[in-house]
Amino acid sequence: METDCKLHGLLPTKPLIAEVIATYGRHLLLRDAAGERRMARPMGRHMEIVCGDRVQCRAESDELLAESILPRDSFLRRSTLRGRSEPLAANLSQLAVIVAPVPAPDLFLIDRYLCAAASAPMHAVIVLNKCELPTAAAVRQELEQYAAPGYEVLSVSAVASNEVTAGLAPLRRALLDQTTIMVGQSGVGKSSLTRLVTSDTADIAVGGLMREEEGRHTTTASRLYDCDAGGRIIDSPGVRDFAPAIDDLERTTLGFREVSALAAQCRFQDCSHMQEPHCAVRAAVDSGAMHARRYESYRRLRRLYDELWEKRPERDRAARR
């Protein structure tokens, strides 16, 4: 855990508002308006405090307690296997899905993150890292299917010494004035890229944030950093799978941009675009205007969405009708 900052300094006498820059189990690492870092603990057992939250704290005995969470501007939530919505990070403006030639990309995972971003709503960008590898060209080509729905794909390398090949200037520009969460599979280079855009990384390899796995460091907790060139970035642990929170998904589009653009032309207002007649989305797939794999991804998410709602208590389902 952090040792350099004033974690054991004097406790404040007045209530304090601070930002959560990391959470380790029930421990919160906070930064107050003056930039001072402190450790705190959530007061309530069931408070779900996440990285990026702003909390109000007060001192009690010898510790600092977070007693309330200030209203969130936005958040990223995932669905648990039981269909419950669980926050991952708060007060974000942008989501960056990081992909690489190794590990092999999972395009369905990218889609689900993009859907979560559309529903938050927050800006989304796809970042192809390790672009100096010869196998990157094929992945870049595969990612062209994201151009039609209007997603920007940046090519970067966290190891290339040539600044132009590394593509870091466009990445820094994309991060400017945003609070961006870096998400994606484990090993794609989220932490490596984070290290390149911030020098605030004294604690990036500290016990609570990293674990050694198969000879490399894998991130175990989200952590917010200030970027040197402006903007803020949250490095998050890698995932194998991700399902957006079903409470957040827009019902008839699930956050797919192509579907949003077409849904108004379907015969039925509540068309699920699965088998209804006169469905503009299916017509677009047949004509090639919507990419068939993106539509397959939509169908998979639709089935998952319906299954997850079935797992929710009856009162949740009734409230939704």
Tally of CA atoms within 13 A in the half-sphere of 259 that contains its CB = 27
Shortest-Cβ-distance residue relative to ligand GTP: 238
- From 112-120, 144-152, 197-205, 213-221, give the range in contact with ligand GTP by CB under 6 A: 213-221
Closest CA to 183 of 174, 197, 194: 194
Q: Is 215 exposed, middle or buried (0-12, 13-18, 19+ CB in 10 A)?
A: exposed
- Confirm or reject binding of residue 147 to ligand GTP (CB under 6 A): no
- Confirm or reject binding of residue 187 to ligand GTP (CB under 6 A): yes
292-311 vs 280-287: helix crossing angle, rounded to 10:
150
Q: Which is closer to ligand GTP, CB of 234 or CB of 266?
A: 234
- Confirm or reject binding of residue 218 to ligand GTP (CB under 6 A): yes
Q: Which is closer to Mg ion, CB of 16 or CB of 221?
A: 221
Q: Which residue has the tokens 């929170």?
A: 245
Tally of CA atoms within 13 A in the half-sphere of 265 that contains its CB = 11
Tally of CA atoms within 13 A in the half-sphere of 25 that contains its CB = 3
Contact letters (x/-) for Zn ion, 275-304, by CB under 5 A?
Answer: ----x-x-----------------------
- Confirm or reject binding of residue 157 to ligand GTP (CB under 6 A): yes
Q: Nearest distance from residue 1's CB to Mg ion, in Å?
A: 18
Q: Which of 55, 227, 271, 301 binds Zn ion (CB under 5 A)?
A: 271
Closest CA to 236 of 97, 138, 104: 97
- Confirm or reject binding of residue 191 to Mg ion (CB under 5 A): yes
Which tokens belong to 285? 């797939």
Give dist(CA 41, CA 57) in Å, integer. 9
- Cβ neighbour number for residue 73 with a 10 Å cutoff: 14
- From 18-26, 195-203, 270-278, 310-318, give the range in contact with Zn ion by CB under 5 A: 270-278
Q: Nearest distance from residue 191's CB to Mg ion, in Å?
A: 3
What does the binding site for Mg ion look like in residue numbers (CB under 5 A)? 190-191, 219
What does the binding site for ligand GTP look like in residue numbers (CB under 6 A)? 129-130, 132-133, 157-159, 186-192, 216-219, 237-238
What does the binding site for Zn ion look like in residue numbers (CB under 5 A)? 266, 271, 273, 279, 281
